[in-house]
Homo-oligomer: A and B are copies of this chain.
Amino acid sequence: SSLTFGEYSLVYNMLSFTIASMLAAGLFFILAQHRVAPKYRISLIVSTLVVGIAAYHYFRITGSWADAFMISETGNYVASGKPFNDAYRYVDWLLTVPLLLVELVLVLNLSREKSGPMLTKLVIAATLMIGLGYPGELLGAESMFSERGLWGFLSTIPFIYILWILFGELGKAMEGQPERVRVLFRNIRLLLIFTWGFYPIVYMAPFFGLTGSESIVAIQVGYTIADVLAKAGYGVMIYAIAREKSINEG
């Protein structure tokens, strides 16, 4: 399948934008350490790891994208013969989703007895979600009722389980917090549902009647936007909560 110059460049430039965003976010999380109380610094450390891992993978994705296509005489981009490696995203999620879950559980400030088992369940569910989604990602499809659709459906089961646990706990954590912190928690909950919920929607792109190249572009651009928000945007919000709490607690 061939891409127009615009399609190829849109993806390429979004990928590069993301590398810059992740690196800048990582630098911010390192430099802003001393602006939050010591007990909240671990959250900033985890944020740094998440965006660092993402920066590495976006470098790789960008390279793979550039290698997978070559410009033809008509000015379009055509497949070079080197396959584009879809796996980088899934490997990235395998590492970053558990870290984001650790971070969220840290922010909830639960007791050790509670957070340990909860984290174990969440990480197992996340691994299943990603592992079951991957085989489907490799397949094109025209409808929900395809092999891609089946893997997507299976992957959605642990996904719903994760959301269900997180929402219950986030709701509880909001009780009894000062107004400004409550607002931040509400925002993080919204960010979480919108960004995490965006991934399965992007996955469904081929079901919406897009052509081959349109659906490749929609998937790359969609996952990229979701990643910037779910990693860098989320980290900035966690920083804001930690900063607010640090000020409140003197």
Residues of B within 8 A of A57 (CB): 20
Closest A-B pairs by Cβ, 10 of them: A13-B87, A31-B45, A17-B91, A24-B49, A20-B56, A24-B53, A20-B53, A27-B52, A13-B91, A27-B49
A residues lining the B interface (CB < 8 Å):
5, 9, 12-13, 16-17, 19-21, 23-24, 27-28, 30-33, 35, 41-42, 45, 48-49, 52-53, 56-57, 60, 71, 81-83, 85, 87-88, 91-92, 94-95
Main secondary structure of the interface of A (DSSP, over half): helix
Residues of B within 8 A of A23 (CB): 52-53, 56
Knowing A48-B27, A52-B27, the reply to whether A16 touches B83 (Cβ < 8 A) is: no
Q: How far is the CA of A32 from the CA of B43 in the complex (A)?
A: 11
Residues of B within 8 A of A48 (CB): 27, 31
Q: How far is the CA of A9 from the CA of B30 in the complex (A)?
A: 34
Pair A60/B95 contact, Cβ less than 8 Å: no
Pair A17/B60 contact, Cβ less than 8 Å: no
Residues of B within 8 A of A30 (CB): 31
Using CB atoms, name the residue of chain B closest to A25.
B49
Pair A71/B91 contact, Cβ less than 8 Å: no
Among B24, B32, B35, B83, contact of A95 (Cβ-Cβ < 8 Å): B24
Residues of B within 8 A of A24 (CB): 49, 52-53, 95
Q: How far is the CA of A56 from the CA of B56 in the complex (A)?
A: 14
Pair B45/A32 contact, Cβ less than 8 Å: yes
Pair A20/B91 contact, Cβ less than 8 Å: yes
